[in-house]
């Protein structure tokens, strides 16, 4: 399959300057699969009402079909055809964070979507992305679009069109290149189907910010219990892993350098995932600086690019610094723990 590539500058007038977005939307209406930028990561979009389109998403990604997909919409009015009700706290969250990096779990209206998209669950995760290219594509398609991250399942999520091309060129119908994403980690997922909302996945909107709007929320047990049934995308399987084994080091930088030196003495090449503050300290075969420890949003924005970059090096093992569980740090550590298969060195 030839994969179309459409380059779009999100800072110009999309309506008049980029008829190719209409081409991409037409393909979505033909149940083809298109990668497109959002403010979090690139999504792999398909018609959420079509079994054919959803099957193509799973096939392209190599993703297990028991993992539900997030549905993307352009307007809140679309909720009426998709969900049974919109709870008050969900209304408050939409007012505060939509469009944006927050996915809300609702009770699904029966027959509204392909059962493949929701993995047969009676709930559905929906969000409105905060990206002009994504919103225009969704508007022109005039469909609810299921869109997991546009990468091969298990690999780091894509934050540039190049990342998508590396994984899915000649596999999908098209890629809309809208430049690098901003947030860099996926949306926060919050379940609003019960009286007390529950965060199922930490992401681009912090727990602290959510609680400022609706009060106290809970963290789901599935964040630590891998045997729980997934109500949220990305909760069940290992994700984000680079090719070389990754270890998180819960220790000062001196200990990380000791581990690097030990591996190199044993004839292995070692890499380090670090920050601006510590980059000049390490002596390793490959070093990636993912951002500033004093500004964790920069770490989130560069995290997946960093994990992918190790695949273009020849390292045998990777050691990563850890980050505080505060703000977007929750999302960073959630992704790093998955990428490392929970391998932590104290």
Q: State the average pLDDT over residues 96-115.
A: 97
Checking if the pLDDT of 18 tops 90, the result is no
Q: Is 247 annotated as a binding residue?
A: no
Is 304 annotated to bind a ligand? Reply is: no
For 56-104, what is each residue's pLDDT tens digit?
Answer: 999 999 988 888 999 999 999 999 999 999 999 999 999 999 999 999 9
163 assigned binding-site residue? no
Domains and CATH numbers, the chain: 4-188 (3.90.870.10), 246-345 (3.40.50.11030)
pLDDT digits (tens, 9 = 90+) for 277-288: 999 999 999 999
91 class by beta-carbon count within 10 Å (0-12 exposed, 13-18 middle, 19+ buried): middle
pLDDT at 232: 52
Q: Please indicate if the annotation marks 123 as binding a ligand.
A: yes
Does 240 show up as a binding residue in the annotation? yes
For the cut 60, the answer to whether the pLDDT of residue 226 exceeds it is no
Binding residue per annotation — 127?
yes
Binding residue per annotation — 151? Answer: no
308 is in an annotated binding site: no
Strand spans (E) along the chain: 4-7, 34-36, 43-47, 71-72, 102-107, 123-127, 145-146, 174-177, 188-191, 198-201, 218-219, 246-249, 270-274, 286-289, 317-321, 344-345
Judge whether 40 is annotated as a binding position: yes
65 labeled part of a ligand binding site: no
Q: What percent of the chain has pLDDT over 90?
A: 88
């Amino acid at each position: 399959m030839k994969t179309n590539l459409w380059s779009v500058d999100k800072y110009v007038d999309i309506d008049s300057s980029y008829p190719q977005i209409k081409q991409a939307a037409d393909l979505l209406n033909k149940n083809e699969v298109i990668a497109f930028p959002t403010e979090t990561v690139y999504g792999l979009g398909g018609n959420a009402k079509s079994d054919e389109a959803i099957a193509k998403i799973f096939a392209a990604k190599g993703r297990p079909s028991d993992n539900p997909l997030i549905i993307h919409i352009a307007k809140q009015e679309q909720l009426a055809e998709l969900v049974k009700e919109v709870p008050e706290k969900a209304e408050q969250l939409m007012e505060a964070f939509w469009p944006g990096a927050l996915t809300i779990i609702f009770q699904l209206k029966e027959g509204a979507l392909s059962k493949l998209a929701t993995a047969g669950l009676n709930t559905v995760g929906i969000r409105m992305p905060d990206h002009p290219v994504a919103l225009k594509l969704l508007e022109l398609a005039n469909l609810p679009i299921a869109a997991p991250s546009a990468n091969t399942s298990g690999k780091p999520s894509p934050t540039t069109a190049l990342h998508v091309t590396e994984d899915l060129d000649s596999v999908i119908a098209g890629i809309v290149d809208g430049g690098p994403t901003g947030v860099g980690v996926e949306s926060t997922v919050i379940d609003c189907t019960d009286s007390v909302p529950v965060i199922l996945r930490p992401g681009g909107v912090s727990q602290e910010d959510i609680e400022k709007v609706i009060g106290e929320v809970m963290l789901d047990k599935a964040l630590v219990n891998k045997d729980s049934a997934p109500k949220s995308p990305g909760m069940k399987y290992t994700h984000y892993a680079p090719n070389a084994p990754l270890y998180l080091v819960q220790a000062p930088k001196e200990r990380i350098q000791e581990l690097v030196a030990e591996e190199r003495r044993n004839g292995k090449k070692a890499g380090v995932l670090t920050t601006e503050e510590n980059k000049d300290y390490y002596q390793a075969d490959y070093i990636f600086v993912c951002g500033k420890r004093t500004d964790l949003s920069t770490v989130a924005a560069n995290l997946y690019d960093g994990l992918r970059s190790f695949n273009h090096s020849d390292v045998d093992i990777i050691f990563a610094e850890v980050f505080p569980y505060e703000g977007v740090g929750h999302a960073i550590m959630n992704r790093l723990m998955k990428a490392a298969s929970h391998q932590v060195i104290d």
